[in-house]
A and B are shown apart, each in its own frame.
Chain A
Amino acid sequence: MLVTRKKPMIVRLSLALAAGLAGALMMGAGTPATAAGGEAPHIPREDWSFSGPFGSYDPGQLQRGFKVYQQVCAACHSLEFVAIRTLASPSGPYFSDAAVKVIASEYTVEDGPDDSGEMFEREARPSDHFPAPFPNQQAARAANGGAYPPDLSLIAKARAAHAGFPTFVFDALTQYQEAGPDYLHALLTHYEEPPEDVTLAPGMYYNTAFLSGNQIAMPPPLSDGLVEYSDGAPETVDQYSRDVSAFLMWAAEPKLEARKQTGMRVMLFLLVFAGLLYFTKRKIWSNVEH
């Protein structure tokens, strides 16, 4: 038994030091959260069919989103890492093979050189990637007032609002991995008239969700009724941006369904295996006090 006695000076000293430091740490953790709250845009978290451990893409939504991309975004934005053939993926937009051939035939790609050494243009095949709207970055900038419309293949993974402490801890526990599409949806729906004290630079638009300041060079791309839907989904800016964000998430992460399905099998196996090992371990150690 330890005899309780008055704590010596050094113990009290160290306790005070530890408490003081812990206090300072907590103060430190609290300050920036409030300081940053005023500036960073608030990105609302939406419901997505592909979130969570059982999430999967909604082919109907991806097909609508592709239509929005094709008719609106593709005028300026490339999609260079995505092959047209992947539109037929059952864990993606799930277009029929015939439909994919038709989609491919609507594009023209440069090929060659041919036998006489000339480059030539031909109809795209499903195995081709989506051709870019501009031949190079300089051409894209020249056509867009100096701003470069980024490639969209990975945009849904290349943008994320900063989640500070303690949000990022909960994000790991709740498997939040949709910061990209949340941001894209917010960006497309948060074009506003600038407040009176803000003077926009020429060719800029006011957007409260834009991560690098509130001025964005991209004009508001969507408006109600802009794209015709054949499946009865509402033809609103909110629905368009939701659909195209989902489509871009698929474009950035086409193997999401395979990943989550494989994951479930692996996790279940590991869980059972861990259980068996636990009882094996208990049995083996049962004759040893430890």
Chain B
Amino acid sequence: MATHLEKLSTPGRKDIPVEAGEEFGILDRVLRFLGLAGAIIPTAAVLFIAAVLLVSALPSILFNGLGFLYHQSWNFGNFYSSATVTHNGIQAPTGASYGALPIIIGTLLTSIIAFVIGVPIAVGSALILVEKVPPPLRRTLSFFLELLAGIPSVVYGLWGLIVLGPFLAGHIYPILARLGAIIPWLGPPVGSGLGLLTAGLILAVMIIPIVASTTRDLLSQVPVLPREGAVALGLTSWESVRLVSLPWVFSGIVGASILGWGRALGETMAVLIVSGNGANFLPQNIYSPVSTIAATIVALLDSAESDPTGLAVSALAEAGLILMLITLATNILARLMVRRVSSTSLPIGRGV
């Protein structure tokens, strides 16, 4: 490394005029400015989307009040009757009432299942891929990870509906249901394989590539020296992974997991197909039909657009807003939880 830097600073090479400090001062500032612009864009986009959602959601917020958060029925009302009701100055079709509790719960539960199952599998498979699998096979298997990221969510959904759901309902869930004696919400009825657990599992399959591919890359970058040190101390390979590699890449895994969590919260089509759609009741057990905010939006946006009062689209916008708040809140929570395990003690990153 030292030799390379020496080469860089060798005077007389015209493409690296190190002594021309000012020129680089400008370059630094340009890079800094462009970087800032790039870094701001996602935040600006998210604020813009939130603003659009907030404006569209206002009628629904006024009409439904806090009940939106704890009521259990999602009812557009009758678009075909000319009669309307008015509440807080907002006009709505007769019978309209919106309660998002089941889809809020469904969103959280499916994502938690996906996270709890998906992240350990992703990290574990990345570990074995980097540490134990011989390189030629590793390359092939790594291919699969990225391939999984690009399979359309519709295809995941169809696979869940036709293959995974019936398989689980036929072979796995009945066995799992026997644990119902110990853990009540694992008990029967197991249903048809469309529901909470299946949706969570499909989401797990979908977030694995995001977490695993990042983890794999980070692990393969852990410097050789400290790991050799660990081996020299007589640690087993698992211990060297636990004590050296994992702490080294921890913050990167957290970041990737948060993105995976976000994807699970926001996934639409696949969940829509395998969730069994229980938008009007809370799940009774882990096999029960559920629905999520994102799936409800994609399923009902079409109907909502024909609400002459516009309240239906507004209610979906409010649901979307709540989803954004959930994402934000869980991200903050994750940050607070991992703050203690900071990576700054490691000789990586920007330094102090």
| Bind each other | no
Which of A's residues lie within 8 Å of B, judged by CB? none
